[in-house]
Amino acid sequence: MGFHKRYINMATTQTYLNRGDLDELYNADAYFFNDEESYEVYRMYLEELTEKEIKLKLNNNGKDS
């Protein structure tokens, strides 16, 4: 039995987000985030924001309108 780990950066996060597949990205035993922005997306995911809401926040650079 193996230990499934994932190295995540914003490029990878954006790919999965555009496919609407963040559930698959975060399907691992451990995550290693290479930048703050990809970790922020993960935190939004844990807060159960929809992928549409996450994209909107990213496009607004995290600023509420």
Instruction: Indicate whether 18 belongs to any domain.
Output: yes
Instruction: Indicate whether 10 belongs to any domain.
Output: yes
Which among 36, 48, 45, 44 is positioned nearest to 10, based on CA atoms? Answer: 36
- What's the total number of domains in the chain? 1
Instruction: Indicate whether 64 belongs to any domain.
Output: no
Q: What is the pTM of this model?
A: 0.85
Instruction: Indicate whether 43 belongs to any domain.
Output: yes
Instruction: Indicate whether 16 belongs to any domain.
Output: yes
Instruction: Indicate whether 28 belongs to any domain.
Output: yes
Instruction: Indicate whether 34 belongs to any domain.
Output: yes
62 has pLDDT over 60: no
Q: How confident is the model at residue 2 (pLDDT cuts 50, 70, 90)?
A: confident
Q: How confident is the model at residue 65 (pLDDT cuts 50, 70, 90)?
A: very low
35: containing domain: 5-59
Instruction: Indicate whether 46 belongs to any domain.
Output: yes
CB neighbours of 8 closer than 8 A, spacing ≥ 6? 25, 31, 32, 33, 34, 38, 42
> What backbone torsions phi and psi does residue 33 show, to the nearest 5 degrees?
-90, 130
